[in-house]
């Protein structure tokens, strides 16, 4: 199975690294192109994959072709490669806002397309990817794509109307979490903790809390209540967060993110 990547930026690099490290594909079966040569050099040096600046060459070789360029470049890339795309080829996109209908119109012919939205924790093989196929993709082909995507984390198949929500809740959300970790660490530093140690404590607290949600099956509110002793320190911190609109701020940020995704 040959995998091709048009675009070899940070997201594609993370995806390829996970796929190779998990043994889902070998280095000789992966080829990537990019207009930015330093990105290609990094991929060749660190991932040992084939590289080129020719998008059509990648398209011709790939059984599964990932369009991993930024959304604003999709129209030009599709126009460039559409005559090279084959009927039995699977096209996987990672761009927010580019619907299955928009993509099919761009190719101008029946094409197997799978929309997906990965996130940067793919770099440490802890990503989660929302997946949505068009009607030309068979069940077996969808399972194959999900198996490839599982190289760098978890996958979930969902309907296309939820893809913009996926952008907000997982695609962009690592940035919110990093800001939260940074803010907690800053506060710990203000209380005298060395910065490197503060980052470790804050990051591990977030990691452990997320693991509790995933592994206990308990509602996040129930887990929160378990920490909040009557008259204690935690409920006082929660009161301060609520007073300053913590949950509302998060929800408004995600709403803004979803709105932006719809407009791309």
127 and 187 within one domain: no
| 33-76 residue pLDDT tens | 999 999 999 999 999 999 999 999 999 999 999 999 999 999 99
CB 117 within 8 A of CB 11: no
Residue 228 forms part of a structural domain: yes
Do residues 218 and 212 lie in contact, with contact meaning Cβ atoms separated by under 8 Å?
A: yes
Look at residue 168 and tell me if it is in a domain: no
- The pTM for the full model equals 0.90
User: What integer pLDDT is reported at residue 250 of this predicted model?
Assistant: 95
How far apart, in whole angstroms, are the C-alpha atoms of residue 29 and residue 2?
5
32 lies in the same domain as 139: yes
Domain that holds residue 88: 3-162
User: Do 118 and 11 have their domain in common?
Assistant: yes
217 and 97: one domain? Answer: no
The CATH number that applies at residue 198 is: 1.10.3730.10
Write the pLDDT tens digit of every residue in 188-240: 999 999 999 999 999 999 999 999 999 999 999 999 999 999 999 999 999 99
- Distance between CA 127 and CA 248 in Å, rounded? 25
pLDDT of residue 172: 95
Same domain assignment for residues 124 and 48: yes
Residues 18 and 67 in one domain: yes
């Amino acid at each position: 199975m040959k995998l091709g990547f048009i675009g070899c930026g940070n997201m594609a690099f993370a995806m390829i690294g996970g796929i190779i490290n998990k043994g889902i594909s070998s280095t000789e079966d992966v080829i990537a192109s990019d207009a930015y040569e330093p990105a290609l050099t990094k991929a060749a040096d660190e991932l040992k994959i084939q590289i080129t600046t020719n998008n059509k060459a990648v398209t011709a070789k790939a059984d599964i072709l990932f369009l991993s360029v930024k959304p604003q470049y999709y129209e030009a890339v599709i126009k460039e490669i559409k005559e090279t795309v084959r009927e039995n080829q699977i096209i996987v996109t990672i761009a927010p806002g580019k619907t299955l209908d928009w993509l099919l119109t761009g190719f101008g012919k029946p094409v197997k397309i799978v929309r997906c939205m990965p996130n940067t924790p793919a770099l440490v093989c802890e990503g989660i990817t929302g997946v949505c196929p068009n009607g030309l993709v068979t069940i077996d082909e969808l399972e194959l794509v999900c198996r490839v995507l599982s190289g760098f984390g978890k996958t979930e198949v969902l309907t296309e109307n939820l893809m913009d929500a996926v952008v907000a809740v997982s695609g962009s959300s690592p940035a919110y979490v990093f800001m939260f970790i940074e803010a907690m660490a800053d506060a710990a530093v203000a209380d005298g903790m060395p910065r490197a140690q503060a980052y470790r404590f804050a990051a591990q607290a977030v990691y452990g809390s997320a693991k509790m949600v995933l592994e206990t099956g308990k509602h996040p509110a129930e887990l929160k209540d378990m920490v909040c002793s009557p008259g204690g320190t935690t409920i006082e911190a929660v009161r301060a967060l609520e007073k300053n609109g913590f949950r509302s701020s998060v929800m408004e940020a995600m709403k803004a993110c979803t709105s932006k995704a719809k407009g791309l």
